Chain A
Amino acid sequence: MINNANNAWVLLSAALILFMTVPALGLFYGGLVKRKNVLSVLMQSFASLIVVSLLWVIVGYSLAFSPTELIPGVIGDFRWFFLNGIAPNDPSPYTVSAPNAPVAHLSFVLFQCMFAVITPAVVSGAVAERMKFSSFLAFSVIWLFVVYIPLAHMAWSRNGLFAKMGLMDYAGGTVVEINSGFSALAAALLLGRRTKLKPVPPHNLTFTLTGAAMLWFGWFGFNAGSGLAADGLASSAVLMTNTAAAAAALVWAGLDWFLQKKPTILGAASGAVAGLVVITPAAGFVSLPGALLLGFAAGAVCYVFVVVIKNKLGYDDSLDAFGVHGIAGVLGTVGTGLFAAPFITRPFGMNNGNGFTGLFFGNPSALGVQVLATFTAMLWAFAGTFVIFLVLKKTMGLRVTPKEEAIGLDITQHNERAYTVIE
């Protein structure tokens, strides 16, 4: 029997996540690029929404979440192909904190669709300002099946490899964040650097801050919707999400102030996103000290990665998809194994009534599962994307020509420009 209150919250959460992809992520990224490339960045997010939305209802959802499987623990089968056999009044086979008050199965399909939509859009940050649109489109289709769906199945489906081991990944630390981050790293390495890397200032930091704020807003649905219930655990998850975002933003902007003399808007926005990423796997498992420490850690570690290490290594992750999502995703997924507080999930009868428990609350084995899943996700995402990019490079090519890159991707890929000069 569907619980309408929970159903309403998950439908709203799905809409919040949609808002994270378009326009929030697009604006966050779009403000950081040169004015001649802003549309191409917005279009990559929008294209993810279009393409993944269709593939998901046709076959993606079934492969990711079917309990019957083609490869045990790794990928489902065609049981729900074309949403076959899912009636509007069917309760979701998946529940988290409210096993007796499920949402509609179709709400779960939609909610998960929005996760699948945003993940390739995050990867687009690593390829900005130089990748052919056609190649990005091909990448996002192939990548959904080869990389995303198996990882989602492993972490979240009933019979998934890590789900069965008790992996704690509340809202996608492995599936979304590590996955997009390490895919972004592989993509940036194979695509190569932008031709004229001499830095050009971001063309519109107003967009970037607006986008970051909208991401923060949408992340409430991303994390607090993941309990699939409008209960107290959702309240806890949303509050921990907000706390970690603020903590990380404070640290990043503070380090800017201390080390570069001024607290930058870009630093505050980047820190907030790092905090939102780090709390993603932990949101429904940790209590306030855990959320604060994860937020502080994400602000500091991502700062070092993006500001210091990236510039030393010299790979061109244009918009820091790896430095923010990859690194904070690892921190958050491993950190959940440390900070998961049993008194958060126990009242909801989760984990057979024991609650999920991390190392600092006396369960070292939890950390092992988190670390194993983290490494698997890192390798899976990096290797899968590496191979896809290699194949695309040999077949359709990855990059626009140097001349097209100089003219800008808005004109050369879409025949449009974002800003006119006169009228």
Chain B
Amino acid sequence: MKLIVAIIQPFRLEEVKEALYAADVQLITVSEVLGHGRQGGVTEVYRGNKETGNLLRKIRLEIAVNDEYVDKTIRAIIDGAKTGELGDGKIFVYQLEDCIRIRTEERGPAAIG
């Protein structure tokens, strides 16, 4: 089992979701986060005050999958999120120790899907 965490551009969320559904990955958690990678922050101007280093709005996806779904999921995120520009984001893959479905108390790979 793996936990896939991806940081993507907010305006690519719809495309990523569609690609994930097409790859039969249905279970995701989405949050709004702030941050920046190599492209740096943004500069905003308020009454002439330049405010540099403002964090950019990003979307963070968390998807727990069984091992046979890892590559499909990564592919779907890339297909949906990639524009080729700086700021497209990153995908992190973690080992997942365990997974428990609260309703049935199932554990492990059976609980993920």
Question: Which positions in A face B, CB cutoff 8 Å?
Answer: 199-202, 256, 260, 262, 264, 266-267, 270, 306-308, 311, 320
Contacts and interface: CB of A to CB of B under 8 A. Distances in A.
Contacts of A264: 45-46
A318 B101 CA distance: 51
Interface in B38-70: 44-51, 54
| Interface SS of B by simple majority | strand
A270 B48 CA distance: 12
Contact of B48 (A200, A202, A262, A311): A311
Nearest to B51: A199
Nearest to B45: A260
A311 B49 contact: yes
A201 B51 contact: yes
A320 B47 contact: yes
B50 to A, nearest CB: 8
Contacts of A256: 45
A27 to B, nearest CB: 17
A266 B51 CA distance: 14
A200 B47 contact: no
Nearest to A307: B48
B48 A308 contact: yes
Listed residue (B48, B50, B51, B54) with the most chain A CB atoms within 10 angstroms of its CB: B48
B54 A201 contact: yes
Contact of A262 (B45, B50, B51, B54): B45
Interface residues of B, number: 9
| Interface SS of A by simple majority | helix
Nearest to A261: B45
A289 B41 CA distance: 45
Interface string B15-49: 00000000000000000000000000000111111
Interface of B: 44-51, 54
Contacts of A306: 47-48
Contacts of B45: 256, 260, 262, 264
Nearest to B54: A201
20 contacts: A199-B49, A199-B50, A199-B51, A200-B51, A201-B44, A201-B51, A201-B54, A256-B45, A260-B45, A260-B48, A262-B45, A266-B46, A266-B47, A267-B47, A270-B47, A306-B47, A306-B48, A307-B47, A307-B48, A311-B48
B43 to A, nearest CB: 10
A266 B45 CA distance: 10
A311 B50 CA distance: 11
Nearest to A256: B45
A201 B47 contact: no
A54 to B, nearest CB: 35
B3 to A, nearest CB: 23
A165 B44 CA distance: 49
A28 to B, nearest CB: 13
Contacts of B51: 199-201
A320 B54 CA distance: 23
B12 to A, nearest CB: 24
Contacts of B54: 201
A267 B49 CA distance: 12
Contacts of B50: 199
B46 A201 contact: yes
Nearest 3 Cβ contacts at the A-B interface = A307-B48, A199-B51, A199-B49
Given A201-B51, A201-B54, A320-B47, 8 more contacts: A199-B46, A262-B45, A264-B46, A267-B47, A306-B48, A307-B47, A308-B48, A311-B49
A311 B45 CA distance: 13
Nearest to B53: A198
B41 to A, nearest CB: 12
A266 B48 CA distance: 10
Contacts of B48: 260, 306-308, 311
Contacts of B44: 201
A320 B47 CA distance: 10
Listed residue (B44, B45, B54) with the most chain A CB atoms within 10 angstroms of its CB: B45
